Structure 1
Amino acid sequence: MFQQDWILRQIEMIGVILARLLFGKDKPDYEIVEKEKLSDSDQLYIELIRMLDEGKINEAENRLYEELDPARLPMLELALAFYSRLNQFDDAYLEAHNYSRQEIEEGLHAATKLFGIQLE
Structure 2
Amino acid sequence: MEFEQDYIMRMIKSIVSFFIKLITGKSDTVYELPSDGLYTPCDDIFARILSLADGGKINEAENLLYANVEPDSKDYLLMGLTFYSHINEYTDNFLSDHNYSRQEIQDGIIAFAKEFTIDEMNSLSLYQTLEEML
TM-score, scaled relative to structure 1: 0.91
Q: How does 1:83-98 map to 2 (within 5 A)?
A: 83-98=84-99
Which secondary structure state, in structure 2, belongs to the residue aligned with residue 82 of structure 1?
helix
Q: How does 1:4-83 map to 2 (within 5 A)?
A: 4-27=5-28, 29-33=30-34, 35-83=36-84
How many residue pairs match? The answer is 120
State the 1:59 CA deviation: 0.4
Match of 1:112 in 2: 113
- Aligned-pair Cα RMSD in Å: 1.6
Distance change in 2, residues 1:47/1:5 (3 Å)? same
- 1:51–1:60 contact (8 Å) kept in structure 2: yes
State the 1:32 CA deviation: 2.5
Percent identity over paired residues: 40
Q: Residues of 2 paired with 1:16 and 1:58: CA distance?
A: 23
